[in-house]
C-alpha cells in the first residue's frame, strides 16, 4: 500500500482526461476489487480518480431495451423490476455474486472489469505472466481448480470471475466507452480478451477508457432465462462453472437459444457453437448434451494439484443440460 | 435458586455488540506506532543481505528489524519463537523482518521497500506416506505414547468375517479466527505491558519473560476479549516476540502489530494434513475383532508438533486386537499446532467412516453396530469410564432425527437425499489454576487469569462463583484476562470451565472456612486447584456425542448441501444452556465446514498456502449451515470433577465430517474417503 492522490472530477470528460493523461492513474468505482489490489501491492497508482459521481447511476428505457449507467450499484440493478422481468438471468447472475455488502458497493462499470481471482495473480511472491509479464504461469501444475478450460494459452490459464459479465455476454449487451478519441461502443462479447501471449491485458480497453454505460438491447427471448452458478459453497463463492441461458421452444423445436458460460475462460464465454448446434433441433436432453459437447471440442484441462481442473469439462456439460432441461420443461 | 444451569445471557454481550469491548489492537494508548511483518519468499535457505535504505528513507519509518540487528534472545528450544536470531529460513512465510512506522500504511509500504537477498537451498514440502524419512516421534500431543498394540491385528484380520481396511485423509486446515493475531506492546520503566489476543495470558507472560530474560513481574499480559482462537492463540507465535522487540527498541512508544489475513495462513499454526490407514475387522455379528490405525502427519523441520490422530482409536470401541501408530514427516513447512479438537477431530474421521462402511457391508444398522461394540472399560488402559453415554446419545439422536424413517435412494426433484451418523468423543481433564476471592462493599470479586475466547467464560464463571459462595450473581464480579490475576490454565483442551470453575470452588471453600458467611470488607482468600493433568485420574473421563446429517447431492452437478445437522451430546453438567448450545452448534458448523469446504492448498513448489484469504479459503457460509441443532442428555458424573462438568468447546466438531460423508454415501452410493467432500469427487459416480 503506497500513498496516492485522490481526485473527484467534475464530470466524465474530466475523469477520462485525468486518467488518460497519467500512466499511473486509475479509476475508482465501488473499490471492492481495486482497494484489495492496492492493499496486496498488485497495483501502485499515484492517482486514484473517483468516478462514482461522474457517470449515471440510473437504469433508463431506451429503444425497447435498458440503458444502465456505469455507476449503478450491483444491488440496485439486480432489484430493478424491469431487469427482473425482462432479463431475469442478469438479476440472478448479480445476486449470485459476492455478498450483500459487496453488491451494495460494486458498480455496473466496475464489475465486468474486476480481475481474475487466480491465487498466483493475487500473491506478489509467485510467478504470474498477467501480473509480471514474462515471469511464468504458476497456475499450471499448481492450484488449478478455478482455472479455465477454454481459450487458455501457455502463458495464462486464468478465468474471469464475474457472474454479471456472463449474463451480459448472453444478452448481447453493448458497452459505451468514453476515451481520448471520443465516444465509442463495443459489443460486450468483444470487451474481454483471450490471454494469448499478452495475458496482462484483460480487455480491449486502453488506458483512460471510461465505461459510461451498458446497453441491453430488446431481447424477448431473455424473459425466460436463467443463470445457474455451480460453486463450492452455497453462497459467497466464485463459480466453478456457471451457465446463463435463454431458450425459445415452439412445438418441441428450439427456435432460438442463448448460452454463455462462466468459470471456464479468460472471458465470459459465449457458447456460439452450442447455440448453433441446437437451433432447429428437438428440445431433448440428448441434443442438449451434444450441443455442450460441440462447445467443448477444444476444451483442455489444466494439470495441477488434486487432479487439476479436469472435472470442469463434464461439469459444463452436466450444468448446460440441467439448465436447458429446466428451461424447456418450464416452457411446456 | 442455583445460578448454574440457568441460561444467563452473556455478561460481555452488550459491550461486544455496541463495539465498546476493546480488543488487543484497540488498547487505549497514546501515540502508538505500527509494526508490519515481512515474511520470507523462499522456503529454505539463508538471508545473506538486507537492504533497508529505501525503507528507512520513507518519511515516518521509525525502525526496521532484520536478522542480526535485533536483540539476542535467551536460548530457547522453541525455534518458532527465536525470531530474527539468524538468517536461516526454514519455511516460506517465516518472519524475516519487520517495519515500525508512524502509521500502519507507512509500515506496510516500507515493508515492500526492504530488499532481501537470499541464498536459496532446495526445499522439500511434499507430504506423503512413501517418504523414506518418516519417523516415529518420542511422544504425541499432549504427551501420549506414539504407538500402542494389544493382541495381534494381522491374525485377527485373517480370520475375520469382514474387514474394512482403507486409507482416509484430512487436508491441511487453518483456524482462521475472525480477529487476527494482534498485539499492543509498551516497554516503559523496565517493564512490559502486552495487550495480546491470546488463550492464555500466563503462558504468554512466561514465554516472553524467558525469551527477554525478564522477571515475570516485569511483564503484564492483558486480554479481556478474544475474537476466536481455536488453538491458534493457545501459545505465542513469532509475531508477539517481534512486537516486544519493537517496543523495546522504542521505549515509551506503544507498538501495535496485527497480522493480515494472508499472514494468518503463514505463521500462527494450522492443523496438519493427516493420512489414516484404518482397519476394522468384525465377526459375523458385527463384533469388532480388530481395530487399528496407522496415522501420518507432518511437522516443521524446526519444531515438532505431532497430532494425536490415532488416539481416539485407542478408546472408542471394544476389540481384542488393536494397534495404533504415528509417523511424521518433518518438512520445510510452517509449524503446525493444536486446532479445535486436535487428535479427535481428524482422527475420528477415518474410523467413523470405516464403521459405516462395515455396517453397510454387514447389512447392520450403523447405530446398532456401534452399540454392539461398546466397551465395558477403556479398552487400552482398563480404567472404568467415569460415565459413558454414547448409546444414549445415539438413541436420542435417532429419535429426534427420525433415523427410523431413513430410506436409501430418496430423491426430491433434482436432489438425491441421504442420511448419516457418526460418533463423537473428547477427553475431559483439568489443569492447575489459582483463584482469588475478595469481599468489599457487600460484593465478591473473583480474580483469575482465565480467557474468554467468545465462549462465555465471563458468564459461566460468574454463575459458578455465585453458587460456590451461595450468593446471587448480581453480587459477584468475576475478573479474568490479565496476568496480574492469579495463574490460570490455557483456554484450551475444552478444560477451561471445569478447571477454572473447580479453582473457584476451591477458593470459595477457603474463603468461607476463613471468614464464614459474614465476611468483613477487605477479607480475601486464594487457593489452587491442582487438576488431573492430561493423564487423568483413576477413571477414563470423556464426553461423548452422536452426530446426524442429512445430505443432498444435486444429481446433475454434484453440488452438496447439508440441510440438517443434529447432535446429541453427553458432556456432564451443562453450566449454561445458552452458551453451551452455541459451543456445540459452533463446533458442528466448523465440522460441516471441514467436511465440505476447508482446505489450505499448500503448493509444494513454493511451500506456502495459495488460497490464503477468506474469499478463496472457504469456511461454511450462513447458507451452508441452515439447520444445525444441538441437544444434550442429563449426565450426572460424580467422578469427573466436583463441578461434574466435562468440556464442550471441541466435541461439536468431532464426528461431523464423518456423518456428512456417510450421508453422502447413503444419498449417492459413492464413498469419499478424502476430505473435503467436493463435487468433483462425486461427478463420475452420478447417474
Ligand atoms: C470476497 C469477494 C467475493 C466476491 N465474489 C464475487 C462473485 O461471486 N461473483 C462476482 O461476479 N464477483 C464477485 N466479487 C467481485 C465483485 O463483484 C467486484 O469486485 C465488483 O463487481 C467490482 O466493482 P467495483 O465497482 O467495486 O469496481 P472497482 O474495484 O472500483 O474497480 C474494478 C476495476 O475496474 C476499473 N473500473 C471501474 N469502473 C470503471 C469504469 N466505469 N470504466 C473503466 N474502468 C472502471 C477500476 O479502475 C478497477 O481497475 C467478489 C469480491 C470480493 C471481494
Ligand atoms: S493463470 Fe494467468 S493469472 Fe494465474 S498465474 Fe498463470 S498467468 Fe498469472
Do B354 and B495 reside in the same domain of the chain?
A: no
Print the domain residue range for B653. 148-173+270-428+538-685
- Segment B342-347 shows an average pLDDT of 98
Do B396 and B415 reside in the same domain of the chain?
A: yes
pLDDT above 90 covers what percent of chain B? Answer: 99
Residue to mutate among B113, B610, B686, with most A CBs inside 10 A, is: B610
Do B223 and B367 reside in the same domain of the chain?
A: no
Do B638 and B572 reside in the same domain of the chain?
A: yes
Pick the closest to residue B676 from B601, B583, B585 (CA basis). Answer: B601
Cβ atoms < 10 Å from Cβ of B382: 9
pLDDT tens digits for range A251-283: 999 999 999 999 999 999 999 999 999 999 999
- What CATH number does residue A273 fall under? 3.30.390.50
* Residue of A17, A106, A163 best suited for mutating to test ligand 1, as the one with most atoms within 8 Å of CB: A106
Q: Is the pLDDT of residue A331 over 60?
A: no
**A279 inside 8 A of chain B by CB:** no
Query: Distance of CA B76 to CAs B58, B82, B85, B87, B310, Å?
Result: 35, 7, 11, 16, 30
Please give the Cα distance from B499 to B450 (Å, whole number). 10
Ligand 2, atom 8, lies closest to the CA of A128
Do B70 and B114 reside in the same domain of the chain?
A: yes
Cβ contacts of B508 within 8 Å, gap of 6 or more:
B437, B465, B468, B469
User: Is residue B143 domain-resident?
Assistant: no
Rg (CA), chain A: 20
A177 neighbors A51 (Cβ within 8 angstroms): no
- Segment A218-224 shows an average pLDDT of 97
Does the C-beta of A166 come closer than 6 Å to ligand 1?
no
B179, B304, B635, B650: which one is catalytic?
A: B650
Contact B112 A41 (CB under 8 A): yes
Does the C-beta of A120 come closer than 6 Å to ligand 2?
yes
Does the C-beta of A29 come closer than 6 Å to ligand 1?
yes
**B605 inside 8 A of chain A by CB:** yes
Contact A233 B610 (CB under 8 A): no
Contact A318 B683 (CB under 8 A): yes
- What CATH number does residue B617 fall under? 3.30.365.10
**B115 inside 8 A of chain A by CB:** no
Distance A144 CA to ligand 2 centre (A): 10
User: Is residue A287 domain-resident?
Assistant: yes
Contact B679 A230 (CB under 8 A): yes
Do B448 and B415 reside in the same domain of the chain?
A: no
Give the A window 302-321 contacts with B, CB below 8 Å: 305-307, 311, 314-315, 318-319, 321
Domain's final residue, options B509, B529, B549? B529
Distance A105 CA to ligand 1 centre (A): 9
User: Is residue B1 domain-resident?
Assistant: no
User: Is residue B4 domain-resident?
Assistant: no
Q: What average pLDDT is seen over chain B?
A: 97
Q: Is the pLDDT of residue A170 over 70?
A: yes
Task: Report helix, strand or coil for B268.
Answer: coil
Does the C-beta of A156 come closer than 6 Å to ligand 2?
yes
Ligand 2, atom 3, lies closest to the CA of A121
Please give the Cα distance from B81 to B629 (Å, whole number). 41
Do B282 and B345 reside in the same domain of the chain?
A: yes
**B616 inside 8 A of chain A by CB:** yes
pLDDT score at B559: 98
Phi-psi region of B519 (alpha: psi -120 to 50; beta: other; left: phi over 0): beta
Domain's final residue, options A17, A35, A50? A50
Please state the domain count of chain B.
3
Do B415 and B500 reside in the same domain of the chain?
A: no
Contact B105 A3 (CB under 8 A): yes
Nearest to A307 among B554, B612, B680 (CB): B680
pLDDT tens digits for range B443-475: 999 999 999 999 999 999 999 999 999 999 999
Q: Is the pLDDT of residue B562 over 70?
A: yes
Distance A28 CA to ligand 1 centre (A): 10
Contact B109 A234 (CB under 8 A): no
Q: What average pLDDT is seen over chain A?
A: 97
Nearest to B683 among A142, A315, A321 (CB): A315
pLDDT tens digits for range A110-162: 999 999 999 999 999 999 999 999 999 999 999 999 999 999 999 999 999 99
Contact B683 A311 (CB under 8 A): yes
User: Is residue B403 domain-resident?
Assistant: yes
Nearest to B557 among A41, A138, A230 (CB): A230
Give the A window 218-277 contacts with B, CB below 8 Å: 230-238, 240
Q: Is the pLDDT of residue A332 over 70?
A: no
Q: Which residues of chain A make contact with B559, given a CB cutoff of 8 A?
A: 230-231
Beta bridge partners of A186: A175
- Segment A321-332 shows an average pLDDT of 87
Q: How far is A304 from chain B (nearest CA, A)?
A: 10
DSSP sequence for A23-59 = TTEEEESS-TTHHHHHHHTS---SEEEE-TTTS---E
Print the domain residue range for A276. 225-331
Ligand 1, atom 31, lies closest to the CA of A110
**B105 inside 8 A of chain A by CB:** yes
Contact B683 A230 (CB under 8 A): no
Of ligand 1's atoms, which has the minimum distance to the CA of residue A43?
49
User: Is residue A42 domain-resident?
Assistant: yes
Please state the domain count of chain A.
2
Q: Is the pLDDT of residue B627 over 90?
A: yes
Does the C-beta of A213 come closer than 6 Å to ligand 1?
no
Do B548 and B469 reside in the same domain of the chain?
A: no
Which residues in B571-617 belong to E strands, given as ranges?
Answer: 602-603, 608-609
Q: Which residues of chain B make contact with A301, given a CB cutoff of 8 A?
A: none
Do B241 and B99 reside in the same domain of the chain?
A: yes
**A297 inside 8 A of chain B by CB:** no
Active site residue B559: no
User: Is residue A268 domain-resident?
Assistant: yes
Dihedral sign, Cα of residue B83, residue B89, residue B90, residue B94: positive
- What CATH number does residue A27 fall under? 3.30.43
Domain's final residue, options B511, B529, B547? B529
Contact A235 B621 (CB under 8 A): yes
pLDDT tens digits for range A73-99: 999 999 999 999 999 999 999 999 999
Nearest to B606 among A1, A40, A126 (CB): A126
Per-residue cell: A129: 505472466
Residue with cell 436447458: A324
Q: Is the pLDDT of residue B235 over 90?
A: yes
Does the C-beta of A214 come closer than 6 Å to ligand 1?
no
B27 neighbors B195 (Cβ within 8 angstroms): yes
Rg (CA), chain B: 26
pLDDT score at A254: 98
**A100 inside 8 A of chain B by CB:** no
Per-residue cell: B462: 460468574
Please give the Cα distance from B235 to B218 (Å, whole number). 19
Please give the Cα distance from B609 to B91 (Å, whole number). 11
Decide if the complex's ipTM is over 0.95. Answer: yes
Cβ contacts of B342 within 8 Å, gap of 6 or more:
B141, B231, B271, B307, B308
Domain's final residue, options B239, B264, B289? B264
User: Is residue B573 domain-resident?
Assistant: yes
Q: Which residues of chain A make contact with B597, given a CB cutoff of 8 A?
A: 232-233
**A6 inside 8 A of chain B by CB:** no
User: Is residue B279 domain-resident?
Assistant: yes
Q: How far is A62 from chain B (nearest CA, A)?
A: 37
Range in A38-42, A105-109, B203-207, B254-258 with the lowest mean pLDDT: A38-42
Of ligand 2's atoms, which has the minimum distance to the CA of residue A137?
6
User: Is residue A262 domain-resident?
Assistant: yes
Q: Which residues of chain A make contact with B685, given a CB cutoff of 8 A?
A: none
Please give the Cα distance from B565 to B620 (Å, whole number). 13
pLDDT score at B244: 98
Distance A96 CA to ligand 1 centre (A): 14
Do B421 and B376 reside in the same domain of the chain?
A: yes
Do B278 and B421 reside in the same domain of the chain?
A: yes
Nearest to A119 among B605, B610, B624 (CB): B610
Distance A237 CA to ligand 2 centre (A): 19
Of ligand 1's atoms, which has the minimum distance to the CA of residue A231?
8
User: Is residue B7 domain-resident?
Assistant: no
Nearest chain B Cα to A146, which residue? B616
Phi, psi of A78, rounded to the nearest 5 degrees: -65, -30
Amino acid at each position: 500500500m503506497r500513498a496516492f492522490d485522490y481526485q473527484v472530477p467534475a464530470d466524465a470528460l474530466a475523469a477520462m482526461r485525468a486518467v488518460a493523461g497519467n500512466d499511473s492513474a486509475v479509476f475508482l468505482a465501488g473499490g471492492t476489487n481495486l482497494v484489495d489490489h492496492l492493499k496486496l501491492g498488485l497495483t501502485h497508482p499515484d492517482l486514484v480518480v473517483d468516478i462514482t459521481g461522474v457517470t449515471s447511476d440510473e437504469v433508463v428505457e431506451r429503444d425497447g431495451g435498458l440503458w444502465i449507467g456505469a455507476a449503478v450499484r450491483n444491488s440496485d440493478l439486480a432489484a430493478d423490476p424491469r431487469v427482473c422481468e425482462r432479463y431475469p438471468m442478469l438479476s440472478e447472475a448479480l445476486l449470485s455474486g459476492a455478498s450483500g455488502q459487496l453488491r451494495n458497493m460494486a458498480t455496473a462499470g466496475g464489475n465486468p472489469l474486476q480481475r481474475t481471482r487466480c491465487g498466483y495473480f493475487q500473491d506478489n511472491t509467485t510467478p504470474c505472466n498477467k501480473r509480471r509479464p514474462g515471469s511464468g504461469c504458476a497456475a499450471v501444475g499448481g492450484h488449478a481448480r478455478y482455472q479455465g478450460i477454454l481459450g487458455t494459452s501457455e502463458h495464462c490459464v486464468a478465468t474471469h470471475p464475474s457472474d454479471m459479465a456472463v449474463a451480459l455476454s448472453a444478452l448481447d449487451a453493448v458497452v459505451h466507452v468514453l476515451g481520448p478519441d471520443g465516444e465509442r461502443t463495443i459489443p460486450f462479447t468483444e470487451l474481454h480478451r483471450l490471454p494469448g501471449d499478452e495475458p496482462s491485458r484483460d480487455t480491449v480497453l486502453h488506458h483512460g477508457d471510461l465505461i459510461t454505460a451498458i446497453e441491453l438491447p430488446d431481447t424477448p427471448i431473455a424473459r425466460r432465462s436463467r443463470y445457474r452458478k455451480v460453486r463450492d459453497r452455497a453462497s459467497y463463492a466464485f463459480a466453478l462453472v456457471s451457465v446463463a441461458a435463454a431458450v425459445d421452444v415452439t412445438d418441441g423445436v428450439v427456435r432460438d437459444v442463448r448460452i454463455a458460460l462462466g468459470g471456464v475462460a479468460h472471458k465470459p464465454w459465449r457458447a456460439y457453437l452450442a447455440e448453433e448446434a441446437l437451433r432447429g433441433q428437438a428440445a431433448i436432453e440428448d441434443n442438449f448434451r451434444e450441443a455442450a459437447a460441440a462447445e467443448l471440442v477444444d476444451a483442455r484441462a489444466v494439470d495441477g494439484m488434486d487432479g487439476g481442473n479436469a472435472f470442469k469439462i463434464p461439469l459444463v456439460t452436466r450444468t448446460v443440460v440441467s439448465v436447458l432441461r429446466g428451461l424447456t420443461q418450464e416452457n411446456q | 435458586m442455583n445460578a448454574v444451569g440457568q441460561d444467563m445471557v452473556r455478561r460481555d454481550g452488550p459491550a461486544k455488540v455496541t463495539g465498546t469491548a476493546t480488543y488487543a489492537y484497540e488498547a487505549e494508548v497514546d501515540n502508538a506506532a505500527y509494526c508490519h511483518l515481512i515474511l520470507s519468499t523462499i522456503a529454505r535457505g539463508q538471508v545473506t543481505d538486507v537492504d533497508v535504505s529505501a525503507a528507512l528513507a520513507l518519511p515516518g519509518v521509525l525502525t526496521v528489524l532484520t536478522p542480526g540487528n535485533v536483540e539476542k534472545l535467551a536460548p530457547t528450544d522453541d525455534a518458532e519463537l527465536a525470531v530474527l536470531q539468524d538468517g536461516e529460513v526454514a519455511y516460506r512465510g517465516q518472519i524475516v523482518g519487520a517495519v515500525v512506522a508512524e502509521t500502519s500504511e507507512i509500515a506496510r509500504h516500507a515493508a515492500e521497500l526492504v530488499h532481501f537477498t537470499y541464498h536459496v537451498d532446495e526445499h522439500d514440502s511434499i507430504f506423503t506416506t512413501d517418504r523414506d524419512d518418516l519417523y516415529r516421534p518420542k511422544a504425541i500431543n499432549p504427551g501420549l505414547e506414539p504407538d500402542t498394540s494389544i493382541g495381534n491385528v494381522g491374525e485377527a484380520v485373517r480370520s475375520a468375517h469382514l474387514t474394512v481396511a482403507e486409507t482416509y485423509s484430512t487436508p491441511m486446515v487453518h483456524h482462521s479466527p475472525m480477529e487476527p493475531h494482534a498485539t499492543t506492546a509498551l516497554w516503559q520503566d523496565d517493564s512490559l505491558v502486552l495487550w495480546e489476543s491470546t488463550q492464555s495470558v500466563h503462558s504468554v507472560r512466561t514465554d516472553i519473560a524467558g525469551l527477554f530474560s525478564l522477571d515475570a513481574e516485569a511483564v503484564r499480559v492483558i486480554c479481556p476479549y478474544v475474537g476466536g482462537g481455536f488453538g491458534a492463540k493457545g501459545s505465542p507465535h513469532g509475531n508477539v516476540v517481534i512486537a516486544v522487540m519493537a517496543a523495546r527498541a522504542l521505549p515509551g512508544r506503544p507498538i501495535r502489530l496485527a497480522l493480515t489475513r494472508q499472514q494468518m495462513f503463514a505463521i500462527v499454526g494450522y492443523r496438519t494434513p493427516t493420512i489414516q490407514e484404518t482397519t476394522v475387522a468384525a465377526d459375523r455379528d458385527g463384533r469388532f475383532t480388530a481395530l487399528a490405525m496407522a496415522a501420518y502427519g507432518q511437522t516443521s523441520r524446526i519444531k515438532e508438533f505431532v497430532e494425536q490422530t490415532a488416539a481416539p482409536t485407542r478408546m472408542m470401541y471394544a476389540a481384542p486386537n488393536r494397534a495404533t501408530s504415528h509417523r511424521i514427516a518433518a518438512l520445510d513447512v510452517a509449524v503446525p499446532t493444536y486446532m479445535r479438537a486436535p487428535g479427535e477431530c481428524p482422527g475420528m474421521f477415518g474410523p467413523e467412516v470405516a464403521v459405516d462402511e462395515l455396517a453397510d457391508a454387514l447389512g447392520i444398522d450403523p447405530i446398532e453396530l456401534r452399540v454392539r461394540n461398546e466397551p465395558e472399560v477403556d479398552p487400552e488402559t482398563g480404567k472404568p469410564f467415569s460415565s459413558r453415554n454414547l448409546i444414549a446419545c445415539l438413541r436420542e439422536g435417532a429419535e429426534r432425527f427420525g433415523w427410523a424413517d431413513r430410506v436409501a435412494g430418496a430423491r426430491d426433484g433434482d436432489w438425491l437425499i441421504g442420511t448419516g451418523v457418526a460418533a463423537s468423543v473428547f477427553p475431559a481433564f483439568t489443569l492447575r489454576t489459582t483463584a482469588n476471592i475478595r469481599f468489599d462493599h457487600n460484593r465478591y470479586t473473583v480474580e483469575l487469569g482465565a480467557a474468554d475466547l467468545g465462549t462465555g467464560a465471563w458468564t459461566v464463571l460468574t454463575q459458578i462463583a455465585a453458587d460456590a459462595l451461595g450468593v446471587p450473581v448480581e453480587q459477584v464480579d468475576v475478573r479474568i484476562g490479565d496476568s496480574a490475576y492469579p495463574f490460570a490454565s490455557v483456554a484450551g483442551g475444552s478444560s477451561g470451565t471445569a478447571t477454572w470453575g473447580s479453582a473457584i470452588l476451591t477458593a470459595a471453600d477457603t474463603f468461607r472456612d476463613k471468614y464464614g458467611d459474614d465476611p468483613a470488607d477487605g477479607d480475601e482468600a486464594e487457593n489452587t486447584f491442582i487438576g488431573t493433568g492430561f493423564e487423568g485420574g483413576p477413571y477414563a473421563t470423556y464426553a461423548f456425542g452422536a452426530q446426524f446429517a442429512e445430505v443432498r447431492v444435486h444429481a446433475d452437478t454434484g453440488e452438496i448441501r447439508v440441510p440438517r445437522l443434529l447432535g446429541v451430546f453427553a458432556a456432564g453438567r451443562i453450566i449454561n444452556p445458552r452458551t453451551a448450545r452455541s459451543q456445540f452448534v459452533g463446533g458442528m458448523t466448523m465440522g460441516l465446514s471441514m467436511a465440505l469446504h476447508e482446505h489450505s492448498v499448500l503448493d509444494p513448489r513454493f511451500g506456502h498456502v495459495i488460497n490464503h484469504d477468506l474469499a478463496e479459503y472457504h469456511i461454511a457460509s450462513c447458507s451452508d449451515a441452515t439447520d444445525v441443532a444441538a441437544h444434550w442428555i442429563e449426565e450426572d458424573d460424580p467422578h469427573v470433577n466436583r463441578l461434574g462438568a466435562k468440556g464442550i468447546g471441541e466435541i461439536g466438531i468431532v464426528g461431523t465430517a464423518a456423518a456428512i460423508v456417510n450421508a453422502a454415501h447413503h444419498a449417492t452410493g459413492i464413498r469419499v474417503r478424502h476430505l473435503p467432500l467436493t463435487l468433483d469427487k462425486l461427478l463420475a459416480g452420478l447417474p
